[in-house]
Structure 1
Amino acid sequence: MRELDLEEFVDEIYEDSEKNPDSKYIFFLGAGCSVSSGIKLASELAKEWYEELKKQKSKFDKFNKKYKIKKKDYGEYYFEIFETLFPTPLAQQKEIQRITECITPCLGYYILTELMQKAQFNTVITTNFDNLIQDALIYSGNKRALVITHQDLAKFIERNNTPLITKIHGDAHMHPFNNSSDTKEIPEDLKIAIQGLFINAKVIFIGYKGNDESIANLLDGCKRIDQVYWFGSSQPITSKLKNWWETLSSKAYIKEREFDKIMSLIKDKFDLDKPDFKKRFEELESSYSKAEETETETLENIKVKSFIDYFILGNTYFEKYEYKKAINSYKKSI
Structure 2
Amino acid sequence: MPTPPQTGPRPREISELVQDLQRARGHPRAEGDGADAAAGAGLVRHRGRAVFLIGAGCSASAGIPLAAGVAQEAIVRIADDYGVVRDGPGAEEALVALIDANRVPDRYGPVGGVVPWGRLYSYIFTEHMKHPNEQRELISRLVEDKEYTLNWAHACLGALVQKRFVHTILTTNFDQLALQGVIRTGIVPVVADGLESLNRISPTPSRPQVVHLHGSMHTYELRNSYAALRETEDDRGLQVMMMSLLKEASVLVIVGYAGGEEGVMTLLQYAAKALPRMVVYWIAYEDDLDLLSDRAKALLATGENKFFILGQKADDFFNQVVGEAGIGAPEWLSDPLGVLQRQADISIDPSAGSDVRRLREAYRARVEYAAEHGRLGRTPTDDATELRSALQFLKAAKAIEADEAYPANDDLLAIHADSLFNHYKRRRSDHEALTTAIRELRPLVERTGVDRIADVITFIEALRERSDALAEDVVELAELFAEIERLVTRVRDGLDPRERQREWSQMTFYLAEAVQAQAEQERRGDDDAATAIRNARKDRLDDARKSYAAALPGLSSTDGNKAKECKEGLGGALIALAEYEKDGMGTASKLREAQTLFREVVQWTSMNTPGEQHAGALENLAEAIRSMRAKFNDEAHGSRIEEAGLFGIALGIYETLGDEDSAGRIRNRLHCE
The answer (yes or no) to whether the contact 2:55–2:255 under 8 Å persists in 1 is: yes
Determine the structure 2 residue equivalent to 1:274: 331
Q: Does 1:250 align with 2:296?
A: no
Give unmatched runs, 5+ long, in structure 2. 1-8, 28-43, 85-96, 347-353, 360-673
- Residue type of the partner of 1:114? A
Q: Does 1:146 align with 2:181?
A: no
Could you say what secondary structure the match of 1:122 adopts?
strand
CA distance change for structure 1 residues 91 and 287 in 2, over 3 Å: closer, same or farther?
farther
- Show the 5 A alignment for 1:10-21: 10-14=18-22, 17=25
CA distance change for structure 1 residues 113 and 75 in 2, over 3 Å: closer, same or farther?
same
Q: Does 1:92 align with 2:135?
A: yes
Could you say what secondary structure the match of 1:199 adopts?
helix
Deviations 1:110-136 (A, max 9, x none): 111121124441211111111112122
- Residue type of the partner of 1:176? L
CA distance change for structure 1 residues 47 and 119 in 2, over 3 Å: closer, same or farther?
same
Q: Does 1:107 align with 2:162?
A: no
Query: Normalized against structure 1, the TM-score is what?
Result: 0.77
Q: Does 1:198 align with 2:250?
A: no
Determine the structure 2 residue equivalent to 1:217: 266
Determine the structure 1 residue equivalent to 2:462: none
Considering Cα pairs closer than 8 Å and 6+ residues apart, tell me whether 1 or 2 has the greater RCO.
1
Point out the structure with the larger helix share.
2
Select which of 4, 22, 42 maps to 2:12. 4
Select which of 99, 113, 117 maps to 1:74. 117
Per the TM alignment, residue 287 of structure 1 is displaced from its structure 2 partner at its CA by: 8.8
Deviations 1:24-67 (A, max 9, x none): 21101011101011111111222232234333345922224443
Per the TM alignment, residue 93 of structure 1 is displaced from its structure 2 partner at its CA by: 1.4
Distance in 2, matches of 1:12 and 1:213, equals 28
Q: Does 1:132 align with 2:187?
A: no
Distance in 2, matches of 1:133 and 1:68, equals 33
Per the TM alignment, residue 199 of structure 1 is displaced from its structure 2 partner at its CA by: 0.8
Per the TM alignment, residue 137 of structure 1 is displaced from its structure 2 partner at its CA by: 2.6
Point out the structure with the larger strand share.
1
The answer (yes or no) to whether the contact 1:129–1:169 under 8 Å persists in 2 is: yes
Could you say what secondary structure the match of 1:181 adopts?
helix
CA distance change for structure 1 residues 82 and 153 in 2, over 3 Å: closer, same or farther?
closer
Deviations 1:168-197 (A, max 9, x none): 111111122112111012221122112110
Distance in 1, matches of 2:210 and 2:10, equals 28
Distance in 1, matches of 2:293 and 2:153, equals 27
Deviations 1:308-331 (A, max 9, x none): xxxxxxxxxxxxxxxxxxxxxxxx
- Residue type of the partner of 1:91? E
CA distance change for structure 1 residues 217 and 280 in 2, over 3 Å: closer, same or farther?
same
Distance in 2, matches of 1:102 and 1:230, equals 30
Could you say what secondary structure the match of 1:275 adopts?
helix
Distance in 2, matches of 1:286 and 1:220, equals 45
Determine the structure 2 residue equivalent to 1:122: 167
Deviations 1:1-42 (A, max 9, x none): 3212334433453366499x9562110101110101111111
Deviations 1:185-234 (A, max 9, x none): 22211221121100152100000011121112211321225200001114
Query: Normalized against structure 2, the TM-score is what?
Result: 0.40
The answer (yes or no) to whether the contact 1:37–1:105 under 8 Å persists in 2 is: yes
- Residue type of the partner of 1:244? L
Give unmatched runs, 5+ long, in structure 1. 299-334
CA distance change for structure 1 residues 18 and 82 in 2, over 3 Å: closer, same or farther?
closer
Distance in 2, matches of 1:165 and 1:129, equals 12
Distance in 1, matches of 2:294 and 2:310, equals 16
Per the TM alignment, residue 242 of structure 1 is displaced from its structure 2 partner at its CA by: 4.1
The answer (yes or no) to whether the contact 2:26–2:49 under 8 Å persists in 1 is: no
Distance in 2, matches of 1:40 and 1:78, equals 12
CA distance change for structure 1 residues 65 and 157 in 2, over 3 Å: closer, same or farther?
closer
Q: Does 1:156 align with 2:206?
A: no
CA distance change for structure 1 residues 5 and 270 in 2, over 3 Å: closer, same or farther?
closer
Per the TM alignment, residue 78 of structure 1 is displaced from its structure 2 partner at its CA by: 1.2
CA distance change for structure 1 residues 118 and 287 in 2, over 3 Å: closer, same or farther?
closer
Could you say what secondary structure the match of 1:185 adopts?
helix
Of all paired residues, the percent bearing the same amino acid is 22
- Residue type of the partner of 2:242? I
Distance in 1, matches of 2:49 and 2:342, equals 33
